[in-house]
Structure 1
Amino acid sequence: MLNDLIEKRKKVLAESEQHKNRRNELNALASKCARERNDLNAQTREYVEEAQRHKEERDRINKDVQALKDERNKYNERANALFEEIEAFKREHGNLQNRGIKELQKQIEHLEFKQQTEVYSTDKERELIEKIKHLKSLVKEQEAEFEQNKEMRAKLAEARELRRRASEIHKEVTEKAELAQQHHDLMVEAYRKADRSREEADRAHQKFVEAQEAADEEHRLFIACQKELRDYDKVISGLRKKTRKTKVTREQKAVRKEAERVFQQFRDGEKITTDDLLLLQRAKLI
């Protein structure tokens, strides 16, 4: 029975070592996954901060764009008023054959706005630019008719100057709008990167949880094995003590029997040796 218990204890000890080693491996894996998750979360925060910077810059530039548009529109409104006076003068003198300058300017503004805000293929954009150039040439042709009138010439010069300023501002509007769009695109890309790294962090966290739970289970099994080993040790120790006690009892009985035989010889008057005397003392017969 004792040998069987010892063999079973060896098996439990081996199982305990397996659970301990597996637990340590899983804890190491959980730590690795936790580091990856933390790195990815930090990366996500960096991407979000980057996106926020681009968003703030985009919004700041868009405010500048709106202010420039307001300024450009004021110049265009003043220019339109002058061109309206010029058109009235032209109608009054019965010389209006083609589309008025104001109407042409409105068409030009509309086309320039479309060029700024809409996306065209290379060919379509080239066609749009050519159309704008054509309309501007028509404006110049009609404006030339007023060069002979001093008052109209002054109004026309002022209107042209206002248009020039509006055109310069429109150019700046276009440049800033493109820059704002660049920051917007960079913001969107940074948010996309943040989403991807956040998803990777979530996956790493899930692996961490799974590894940690598995490690906890292995630790539970390891502790159960340790308890079972302690139980085996108690039983085996008890059996060994009992075996030793039984062996001592048998030895004591044998000594007593032999001592009684020697004592009987002593009583019968036979000679006994020193060893016999020691045996009798050991058996407490003398």
Structure 2
Amino acid sequence: MLNELIDKRKVVLQQSEEHKEKRNELNALASTYARERNQLNAQTRECVDEAQKNKELRDEANNSVHTLKAERNVLNDKANVLFEDIDAFKKEHGGISNNRGIKELHKQIERLEMEQQTKVFSPEKERELIEKIKQLRAGIKDQEDEIEQNKEIHAKLQEARDLRKEASDLHAKVTESAELAQKHHDLMVECYRKADKSREAADESHKKFVEAQEAADEEHNKFIACQKEIRDYDKVIGGLRKKTRKTKVTKEQKAVRKEAEQVFQQFRAGEKLTTDDILLLQRSKLL
């Protein structure tokens, strides 16, 4: 029975080592997934922060667009008032009445420039639009050249031109700010896309981390159970060994007692005892 228990203990000990080794492997794997998850989460935060920065820059550029547009519109309105006076002067003094007025031509240019800024055209359509704006500007110049010969409204025309120039400069800034706003918007969208991608990867790594950690915990519980079973075997085996040793000592003591009694009978019969015989009698407490 003792040998059978020892063999069973060896089997449980082997299982214990296997569970311990598997637990350590799974813990190492869980740590790897945790590092990956943490790195991806950090990457996600960086992308979100970068997206937020681009969002703020986009909003700043859009605010600039609104401010510049308002300033440009004020200048155009002032210029339009002057050009209305000039057109009225043309009609009154026999100007080219069949042609569209300068104010109307400017408005058409503004509309075409807005379309150029906000719509997507094919290269051919883009060239046609640019050519149309060029023709309208040429028409304005022809009319202005004709009107400029009259000194009465020369100063008014010059003021209107200056206002248009300022408005045109502001329009260029509007376009620049609008392009900048679009650039930062695109960067913001790209950053959020990257953040979503890294967040998904982080979630997957976290899922694998949890699975590995749970499996490691299960192996650890099995290892603990094996250790408890080994301790139980040790108690039983230790008890049996102690009992076996005690039984062996008792048998030896009985044999010595029996031998000592035989020597004692020889002593009582007057036979001569050896030193070993005397020691045997003393050990058996018969002498």
Counterpart CA distance in 1 for 2:55 and 2:145 is 47
Which position in structure 2 is the counterpart of 1:260?
261
Code of the residue aligned with 1:274 in structure 2: it is T
Residue 184 of structure 1 and its aligned partner are, at CA, apart by 1.7
Instruction: Read off the aligned partner of 2:21 and give its amino acid letter.
Output: N
Correspondence for 2:32: 32
Summarize the alignment of residues 128-207 of structure 1 with structure 2, pairs less than 5 Å apart: 128-207=129-208
- How far apart are 1:119 and its partner, in Å? 2.3
* Residue 120 (structure 2) aligns with: 119
Equivalent residue number for residue 106 of structure 1: 107
Q: By how many angstroms is 1:238 displaced?
A: 0.4
Q: TM-score, normalised by structure 1?
A: 0.93
Q: Could you tell me which residue of structure 2 aligns to residue 278 of structure 1?
A: 279
- Structure 2 counterpart of 1:25, one-letter code: E
- 2:213 pairs with 1:212: yes
Partner AA of 1:111 in structure 2:
L
AA of the residue aligned to 2:19: H
| Backbone CA RMSD of aligned residues | 1.8
Give per-residue Cα distances to partners, 1:164-217, cap 9 Å, x unaligned. 111111112111221222122222212222222222222222222112111111
1:57 equivalent in structure 2: 57
User: Which deviates more, 34-43 or 215-224?
Assistant: 34-43
Residue 7 (structure 2) pairs with residue 4 (structure 1):
no
Q: Are residues 1:72 and 2:72 paired?
A: yes
What are the superposed Cα offsets for residues 130-157 of structure 1, whole Å, 9 maximum, x if unpaired? 1111222222233333233323333222
Uncovered stretches (5+) of structure 2, i.e. residues with no partner: none
Query: Structure 2 CA distance, aligned partners of 1:239 and 1:257?
Result: 27
Distance across 2 between alignment mates of 1:209 and 1:127: 63
**Separation in structure 2 between the aligned mates of residue 203 and residue 128 of structure 1, nearest angstrom:** 52
TM-score, normalised to structure 2, is 0.92
Distance 1:131 1:254 in 2: 132
- Partner Cα separation in structure 2 for residue 257 and residue 122 of structure 1: 125
Using the TM superposition, give the Cα deviation of residue 97 of structure 1 relative to its aligned residue in structure 2, in angstroms: 0.4
Shift of 1:87: 2.3
Q: Any stretches of 5+ residues in structure 1 without a counterpart?
A: none
Q: How does 1:81-96 map to 2 (within 5 A)?
A: 81-93=81-93, 95-96=96-97
CA distance in 2, matches of 1:172, 1:274: 127
CA offset at residue 93 of structure 1?
Answer: 4.4
**Count of residues paired in the alignment:** 286
Indicate the larger mover: 144-153 or 211-220: 144-153
Cα distance in 1 for residues equivalent to 2:79 and 2:273: 151
Q: Deviations over 1:12-41 (max 9, x none)?
A: 111111111111111112222222222222
**What is the rounded CA distance, in whole Å, between the counterparts of 1:126 and 1:4 in structure 2?**
98
Whole-Å separation in 2 of the counterparts to 1:199 and 1:121: 39
Alpha-carbon shift at residue 267 of structure 1 (Å): 2.9
SS in 2 for 1:173: helix
**SS of equivalent residue, structure 2 residue 280:** helix
